[in-house]
Structure 1
Amino acid sequence: MDATQRMVCRQDFFNPLTSMGLQMSSILVISHFFNLVLKELGQPGPIAQILAGLVLGPTGLSNIHKVRDFFFQASAAEYYEIFGFFCRMLFMFLIGLETDLSYILKKLKISSTIAYGGAMVGAIFGIAVSFFLHQQLMLNDKKKFGFLLVIMLMTAYTACPVVIRVATDLKFATSEIGRLAIYSSIINEITCLIVFGFILGIHKMAFFGDFFLTVFVTLVVVGINKFVAIWFNRRNRNKKYLTNPELLFILSLLIGNSMIIEMYTSNSVISCFVIGIMFPKEGKSARTLVQKLSYCVHNFILPVYFGYLGFQFDASRLNSLSSVAIVVIMVVLSIGSKISGTLAACHYLKIPLNHGVFLGFCLNLKGHADVVFIGQATNSLVDWNSEAYNLLLITIVINTVISGPVLALLMRREDKLFTQTYTTLEHHNPESELRTLACVYGPRHVSGVLATMAAISGSQPTPMIPYMMHLIELIQKRRTNVSYHELEDDEQSDNEDYGGNDVLEINDAVDAFTTATKIIVHISKAVSAFSNLYEDVCNVAEDMHTSIVILPFHKHQRIDGKMESAKEGVRITNQKVLRHAPCSVGIIVERGQAGVPGFSQLLDYVSVQQVATLFFGGPDDREAIAWSTRIASHPLVNLTVIRFLSTESSSTRNERVDERDDIEVFMSLASLETGNDVDNAFLNDFYNRSVTSGQVGYVEKYVNNGAQTVAALVDIGDMYSLFIVGKGGRGHSPLTTGMSDWEECPELGTVGDLLASSDFNVNGSVLVVQQYRHSKKEFLDD
């Protein structure tokens, strides 16, 4: 009882600890209300959270005497400082954990040029205005140089956590310009923090000692993490995630590292980021950290942190014309310098003007490090008075509050900046980055889908960002007429428990794939009724700007070689995705002789796979060729393109051809004057690029009708482990006449359905490709 009374402070219940707790709770509640209103106006979450802080702070409710006494207690600053320490540590570690290091290295020149362009102009403007501000704020002349450095850093700095959160809320984080903004902000923030640490180290005459201590402690934690992550992954082979004690151990290393650095040097933000970026990304350890920390950071830590920025905004400080002028000058200079510096960098990089303006406002977002600059500079670099301190905080808040809505407005006016320029691989540069979304309904589908992704990834230098969605049917089992304690175990499950052991098997297969290929697959889960699952797939494909969606066929092969149907809902979902997907779609039919997967053996990286692409003409077949171009670059794939032509076109050749004979022409393109002009132009380009170099084989087969086409397919049925074919879009082709009479699955198209049929003697898997339909009419014309 005595301990309880002491804990709640019997004499004064409203102590600094309870005050901070209630303040954070109030910020979360009020920000949620603002978010509901502003979300409809397209505004990002940080704006709502800063406004919540404004309402609760000295500008709003804290004007009331009792509220102000409760929230602004003498010893509360220490609690806020500790909370800020944990906030910075966790979200910088998470940012490092989610950062794509390979992309940064690939775009290092572009990102650093944009980051340093805005920062350098901002620093120059900051130095120019600092003399005027120092005089107006009447600060100590002895530390004038320190004030100059702080203002220079504030105008040059960009808050990457704010940029990331705004980009996520406005859904441009996965676009090319969005990723450029995020990684430019990371480079900017890390550079500014390094400069600030260097300044403090020189001031304390301990720069080299601080530097070596930080590097040593960071490297020790990075090394321990690599060992511990591998050990925990092996230790939890039969579990979905790490246990809580294991998770706590990893976070304890991070906390210990940060505390040592903060005690003996200046700031641990860079160290936490480096530890996150160097943490092994494969296996359960990284997956557990991302899942647990993402919810905590994005739903609690960052909202409170942004809210606390607004909470420190005190409008009463703007009580004179000079104070208003100082704030206006700082805000205008910050925005102007960022935009002008970024535009100059974009002009040098030949980036369009509208992109430059958008990037400029992104890099003008301010945040936590500005507060660090002001706070840690106190009494060491600058002797702040209360007016100067608060006016600088006001400029930080106003900068972010202005930039957030402007970015939302620019997004609405410049939709083309954030949409996929090419949604088909036919117009996609084979050397450019490819974003794919693979869907699985259970462990049975994983091997075929992963083998397809591995093949499409081609050679390892070819950039690819793969996503995988585990689609789970939501079954309404819960009874509503009983109490909670009367429910069965399966009725009490929440979304996290859906999928059961399937999740474990899928994760293990993906981990093995990542280990073998070094390709990190981002896994997510969608739980919904079959009637709505397609919406989840299409929304994710649109948000992630994917160019390809890969779906498993609703049938699977039995031991006797026959194809057996799974749930009908799987087929319905596939059909709806084909109709509504914002990009090209491929359906993989996994087959193999005697029930042994054939093409899936590609994952073993042992045997060479023979792959054939069938070309009859039309947009889907051209898309299939485009997919094949990437697949052909895989070191264990031998690709042959087989073009089917009517025997009537053989009259253009010098020799007569019997209508029942096949002419096979390797490494030649004999009949470009026949068929569709678009098809011919596309094949001519493909031939000159891939066939003449010897990378791809080319065959032409002459047939008269569907029966001869079937006979030709039977002849090659056991020669290839994978057949790639377009779904349709060929119009009324005489080459497939009569083949649709026994069609079972129209979603595979005429040829794809034949190859996937149990009655057809083909042992290879089948990949059916549908090119993105830009209009409903194109879809109906198939």
Structure 2
Amino acid sequence: MDATANIMCQEDPVNPVVSTCLQVCGILVVSHLFHLIFKPLGQPGPVAQVLAGLVLGPTLLCRIYVIERFFIKPNSAEYYRFYAFFARIFFMFLLGLEFDVPFLKRNLHLVTTVAYGGFMACGIFGAAISWFIIRELTISYNKIAFAIVTIILIANSASPVVIRLAADLKLDTSDVGRLAMSSSLINEMSCSLLFSLVVAFTEDGMFKTLLLSIFLTASLILVNCYLVIWFNTKSRNQKFINNSQVLLILVLLISVSMIIESSGLYSTVHCFLVGMMFPREGKTTRTLLHKLTYAVHNFVLPSYFGFTGFQFNISSLSTIDNVIVALVMVSLSIAGKILGTLLACYYLKIPLNIEAVILAFILNLKGHADLVVVDASPNSEKWWGEDIRRLLLSVIVLNTLMAGPVVSFIMRKQEVQLTHNRTSIECLDPESELRMICCVYKPRNASGQLGLCSALRGKQGAAITPYLMHLVELPKRRKKKNLMYHQLQDGDQFSDEDEYGGNDVMEINEAVDIFSSETKIFVRQIKAVSSFPTMYEDVCSQAEDLRVSLIFLPFHKHQRIDGKMEKGKDEMRSTNQKIIRHAPCSVGILVDRGCLEFQRLLAPDSLQSVATLFFGGPDDREAIACSKRLAMHHHLNLTVIRFLPSEFGEEDVNVSSSTASPHFNLGNEVFMSIARRNPENKRDDVYMDEFYKRYVSSGQIGYVEKNLRDGAETLQALRDIGDMYSLFIVGKGRRGCSPLTTGMSDWEECPELGVVGDLLASMDFDIKSSVLVIQQHRHTSSKSFTDD
């Protein structure tokens, strides 16, 4: 707070600014160097950067006179705090922009229980030992305020440190990682709010200031909503909004933050709320994420973490009393987080396994709200002097340096248990979250892929996390534009990486913006720039890192205006085939004939018919699992058509959703005879029996059985229903030797679609329906945090 006021009171405001910038650059360089050294050892970035600051600070290298003279100057402290003020604004605003609001809404009870479980346990421990610390440190005034500060330091979880550590350890897309990030944000916002309330009620006139800050925050959120609409409309023909518009948004944010901080409060909660409530759709948010993410993650946070370690001074632990106080606070912080988190997991009936332990240690990371509390007027008598401040800083640094390596060590030991296991959707409940990647090569692929996202959303508010991945061919010769920054047009980017994809990027962005504004589904966009021979590696690695259960690929042929299918690049087909072979999850190929556009699914009078063809096998079961989610969409009418050998019946059997299936009423003799023929058939019958009882008997899904003798009858049956449905869903294959498909592979053109899928996609078959071919990934399932 005082940094914004004292920064303008220096006698020589030029040289200290230059020297402080050089010092920050030095901390930044050393922090990145330590990160490079410790990353191969499995240590995440925040831990390495805090350790770099510790080595560079007065504990070690600053004991050398030359280094101390460079880094520690009388006027530097206020400038460091002024830099920390801007750092807090930008990374808390970015955290709000990147915050997974749908996850919090779905798991609000879970997240708050875990967050406040650790908070309450640490709060009880902190309150219990505050009298001991007050006696050991001989605190003679403001004892209640010191006790509250002690509770905050023990109970707080630093969300920026947690988020960066989770990203470095590739936990940010896992259930335990997202739970840790959301819980740390709830915890930190609660601690910041508690400290603001303490300040507001202990100082005269501060309660009115608190009300003013709430009014300013609400006003800025409202202003941003109108600015986003205006900027998106004004920049309709551009990839990004221009730099002046970005500057206006950031200036408003900084101005309101400075007003709040100059009034005696902290803007941490304010910046986060403004970012979280910022409209997600359109070019404005995309531009802010593009410009802020790289700068904050690679410059602001490393220097901030490095400066945290830089403030650690071993001299603060020079006495026995101080060492005892530090050890007690660190021990109780770790014990409180472990006890509170495990009790919360037990209450929520979450298995007390290794993930619960990792969650507890992650939530013990310190470094943001703690620094805000400790840095509050450090030279004022109200906050107990510089010696107490240095001791509390030591506790913060020691907590982080202990918790971070423990998390990385446990993860290395339990790597197999923490790997992604939701690699198919057969074993997932239709109500659970579906994470998927939709790949596009050209803008024409976007409509069909977004239509699938809209259809798979099912009912309103269902859990879905779609990623749209633009696959761009890397040109053989890179076309660098040797332009200085000031020579670029306003709104252009300095890196030539954004030129890859050309105008396709703009058209895809426009399609995503329209989709998000109409469906309220936030689509996260990714770009993979690579040569075609290695492009599949980018897709597979992203699928593994993002922990998706399904990858959708566009067919290498596209439909022309006259209805004919035109062949695209052979490299696209080759890439699709490689992804199918190497994908770490299930894969679907969409043959798009324009029948599943999301605009049609939003029309009030729209009702499209979808058919799922079931011949048997794991791929067809995966197709049924995918169909369950489509059945929940109120503009889709789903029918499952099961093809059976004629030995189980003399005639085709049509079963409505309100009648019983004759096949399932034949008795146990039928199931036993099927099981004797093939173990896979037993799984099919058990799966279809459960499916029938849950979905068909209740009237949600239609069901038809067709009894056929050979491939010729199957071909004729498919021709009969070819014009009845907008979309056919079918498994790729792995059915074994089925008489129903005998002879159908003689004219197979695209083996990646399977026998039936290739037939439906063929121009010779002459249907107008789109086709979705599903291949299931073989996987093992295990219970996770958000399973019910």
**TM-score of the aligned structures, taking structure 2 as reference length:** 0.91
Q: Specify the SS of the correspondent of 1:426.
A: coil
**Does 1:665 pair with 2:665?**
no
Which residue is 1:682 aligned to? 687
Q: Deviations over 1:718-740 (max 9, x none)?
A: 11110000000101111001111
Query: C-alpha distance in 1, partners of 2:381/2:272?
Result: 26
Larger mean CA deviation between 66-75 and 496-505 belongs to: 66-75
- The equivalent of 2:667 in structure 1 is none
Instruction: Show CA shifts across 1:334-375 (max 9, x none).
Output: 111111121222221122223332121111100121111112
**1:147–1:381: 8 Å Cα contact kept in structure 2?**
no
Contact 1:144 / 1:382 at 8 angstroms: preserved in 2?
no
Q: Which residue in the other structure is 1:535 paired with?
A: 537
Distance in structure 2 (CA, Å) of the matches to 1:459 and 1:387: 59
Q: In 2, Cα distance between the equivalents of 1:473 and 1:736?
A: 37
CA–CA distance in 2 between the matches of 1:625 and 1:601?
24
Q: Report the Cα distance in structure 1 between the residues aligned to 2:70 and 2:479, rounded to whole angstroms.
A: 46
**Aligned partner of 1:293: which letter?**
L
| Aligned residue type for 2:774 | V
Alignment of 1:27-426 (within 5 A): 27-139=27-139, 141-354=140-353, 355-376=355-376, 378=378, 382-415=382-415, 418-426=418-426
Structure 2 CA distance, aligned partners of 1:599 and 1:338?
Answer: 49
Deviations 1:61-116 (A, max 9, x none): 21111221221111111211111111111111111111122322322222111111
Amino acid of the residue matched to residue 533 of structure 2?
Answer: S
Give, in whole Å, the separation in 1 of the partners of 2:684 and 2:482: 65
Counterpart residue number, 1:547: 549
Determine which of 688, 696, 704 is the counterpart of 1:699.
704
CA distance, structure 2, for counterparts of residue 479 and residue 198 of structure 1: 56
- Please report how far the alpha carbon of residue 123 of structure 1 lies from its aligned counterpart in structure 2 after TM superposition: 1.6
Q: TM-score scaled to structure 1, two decimals?
A: 0.92
What SS does the corresponding residue of 1:759 show, helix, strand or coil?
helix
Q: Secondary structure at the match of 2:765?
A: coil
User: What is the match of residue 766 of structure 2?
Assistant: 761
**Distance in 2 of aligned mates of 1:646 and 1:154:** 70
Q: Mark the runs of 5 or more structure 1 residues left unpaired by the alignment.
A: 1-10, 651-655, 776-782
Q: Take 2:416 and 2:382, find their aligned partners in 1: how far apart are those partners?
A: 46
Matched, 1:504 2:494: no
Give CA deviations for 1:443-474 in whole Å, capped at 9, x if unaligned: 01001111111111111121111111101011
3-state SS in 1 of match to 2:366: coil
Corresponding position of 2:739 = 734
CA distance in 1, matches of 2:479, 2:76: 49
> What does the per-residue CA deviation read over 1:115-152, in whole Å, with 9 as the maximum and x for residues that have no partner?
1111112122222222222232233x122222212111
> Deviation of residue 236 (structure 1)?
0.7
User: Which residue does 1:770 correspond to in 2?
Assistant: 775
Deviation at 1:479, TM superposition (A): 8.5
Match of residue 614 from structure 1: 613
Distance 2:375 2:165 in 1: 25
For residue 678 of structure 2, what is the aligned residue in structure 1?
A: none
Rounded to whole Å, the distance in 2 between the matches of 1:90 and 1:271 is: 12
Q: Which residue of 2 aligns with 1:591?
A: 593
Cα deviation 1:179-211 (Å, max 9, x = unaligned): 111111111111111110011111113243022
- Measure the CA separation in 1 of the matches of 2:554 and 2:449: 7
Could you tell me which amino acid in structure 2 is paired with residue 501 of structure 1?
N
Measured at CA, do residues 685 and 383 of structure 1 come closer, stay the same or move farther in structure 2, by a change above 3 Å?
Answer: closer
Q: Deviations over 1:568-617 (max 9, x none)?
A: 1111111111111111111100115xxxx465653453521111100100
After TM superposition, give the deviation of residue 14 of structure 1 in Å: 10
- Matches of 1:601 and 1:212, distance apart in 2: 44
Which residue in 2 is equivalent to 1:467?
467
1:105 is matched by which residue type in structure 2?
Answer: K
Find the residue that maps to 2:572 and give its secondary structure. helix
Partners of 1:557 and 1:13 lie apart in 2 by 66
CA shift at 1:245, angstroms? 0.1
1:717 aligns with 2:719: no
State the distance in 1 between where 2:417 and 2:273 align.
Answer: 31
The residue number in structure 2 matching 1:627 is 626
Residues of 1 paired with 2:104 and 2:13: CA distance?
Answer: 50
Residues 146, 382 of structure 1: 8 Å contact kept: no
- Once the two structures are TM-superposed, the CA of residue 420 in structure 1 deviates from its matched residue by 3.3
Amino acid at match of 2:408: A
Q: Could you report, residue by residue, the CA deviation over 1:647-699 in whole angstroms, capped at 9, with x for unpaired residues?
A: 1211xxxxx54xxxx44333442334264111111111111111111111111
Q: Distance in 2 between matches of 1:262 and 1:195?
A: 16
Verify the 8 A CA contact 2:591 2:772 in the aligned structure 1: yes
- Equivalents in 1 of 2:464, 2:85: separation in Å? 36
Residue in 2 that maps onto 1:605: 603
1:708 CA displacement: 1.2
Distance in 2 (alpha carbons) for counterparts of 1:247 and 1:483: 25
Amino acid across the alignment from 1:238? N
Give, in whole Å, the separation in 1 of the partners of 2:456 and 2:288: 29
Identity %: 52
Residues 479/521 of structure 1: CA separation in 2 closer, same or farther (3 Å cut) = closer
Contact 1:177 1:418 (8 Å CA) reproduced = no
State the partner residue of 2:5.
Answer: none
For 2:777, give the aligned amino acid: Y
Closer/same/farther in 2, CA of residues 67 and 181 from structure 1, 3 Å limit: same
3-state SS of paired residue (2:661): coil
Query: Which deviates more from structure 2 when the two are superposed, residues 709-718 or residues 372-381?
Result: 372-381
Corresponding pairs, count: 745
Matched AA of 1:671: H
Deviation at 1:265, TM superposition (A): 3.3
How far is 1:19 from its partner?
Answer: 2.4
Q: Match of 2:730, SS?
A: strand
Q: CA RMSD in A?
A: 2.2
Quick one: which amino acid aligns to residue 318 of structure 1? L
Measured in 2, the distance between the counterparts of 1:670 and 1:530 equals 50
The verdict on how the C-alpha distance between 1:691 and 1:39 changes in structure 2, with shifts beyond 3 A counting, is: same
Of 721, 745, 749, the residue aligned with 1:744 is 749
**How far 1:379 sits from its partner (Å)?**
6.1
Question: 2:318 aligns to what SS in structure 1?
Answer: coil
| Residue 588 (structure 2) pairs with residue 565 (structure 1) | no
Alignment correspondent of 1:640: 639
Relative to 1, partners in 2 of residues 1:483 and 1:15: Cα closer, same or farther, differing over 3 Å? closer
Q: Which residue of 1 aligns with 2:430?
A: 430
Contact conserved, 1:725 with 1:767, CA < 8 A, in 2? yes
| Counterpart secondary structure, 1:32 | helix
For the pair 1:582 / 2:584, whether they are aligned, the reply is yes
Taking the aligned partners of 2:525 and 2:554, their CA distance within structure 1 comes to: 16
The CA distance in 2 between the partners of 1:464 and 1:65, in whole Å, is 58
Q: Spell out the pairing of 1:515-526 with structure 2 (5 A cutoff).
A: 515-526=517-528
* Structure 1 counterpart of 2:641, one-letter code: I
SS in structure 1 of the partner of residue 91 of structure 2:
helix
SS in 2 for 1:439: strand
Describe the shift of the 1:43–1:709 C-alpha distance in structure 2 as closer, same or farther (beyond 3 A).
same
Deviation track 1:227-259 (CA, whole Å, cap 9, x = no partner) reads: 000110111111111100000001111011101
Structure 1 residues 551 and 374, CA gap change in structure 2 (3 angstroms): same
Change (3 A) 1:371 1:474: same
* Paired letter, 2:125: F
CA distance in 2, matches of 1:406, 1:669: 56
Q: 1:422 to 1:524 in 2, by over 3 A?
A: closer
